[in-house]
Amino acid sequence: MDKTVSTLLNEQINKEFYSAYLYLDIANFFEAKGLNGFANWYEIQAREESDHAMLMYRYLQNNGEKVTLEAIAKPDKTLVEIMDPLHVGLEHERYVTSLIHAIYAAAKNVDDFRTIQFLDWFVKEQGEEEKNAQDLITKMELYGSDPRGLYLLNSELAARVYSAPSLVL
């Protein structure tokens, strides 16, 4: 595999684990606020991020690339108001999208069709994650200031269940 592509994928493993850590921190924040549905939603989000990291780990292994695991950064976002994590989440997903696109561009640059095909799933996934983050902000802006609205939204988010990623290697 091209060195630039494998290095970027290796770095992305770390970024995905950081994402899991960030979302777990957000779940932790909501748990402390008594919003267990929001906490559940972000806990599942954290699990999905770990799945993303493991898919990249497995992909590199399957292609004979040695993986180097670096330290995972501490979640460093300031969370005070209930809306803070929602904006942090959207901003973070946009950042991750830019990282995935950069790996895609590097793979395209060297005609690494296998990696391009592997990354197609992530490109689509990022679109969904940005939409989910945006939808949550929209719903909170519409209903979040009303206690009953917040209660119902919390109940809706409590119903989210984890499912393993659809991408199989």
19 binds ligand FEO (CB under 6 A): yes
Q: Which long-range contacts (CB under 8 A, 24 or more apart) does 38-43 make?
A: 38/154, 38/157, 40/157, 40/158, 40/160, 41/136, 41/157, 41/158, 41/160, 42/85, 42/89
96 binds ligand FEO (CB under 6 A): yes
What Rg value do the Cα atoms of the chain yield, rounded?
A: 17
Q: How many residues bind ligand FEO (CB under 6 A)?
A: 7
16 binds ligand FEO (CB under 6 A): yes
41 binds ligand FEO (CB under 6 A): no
49 binds ligand FEO (CB under 6 A): yes
43 binds ligand FEO (CB under 6 A): no
CB closer to ligand FEO, 16 vs 43: 16
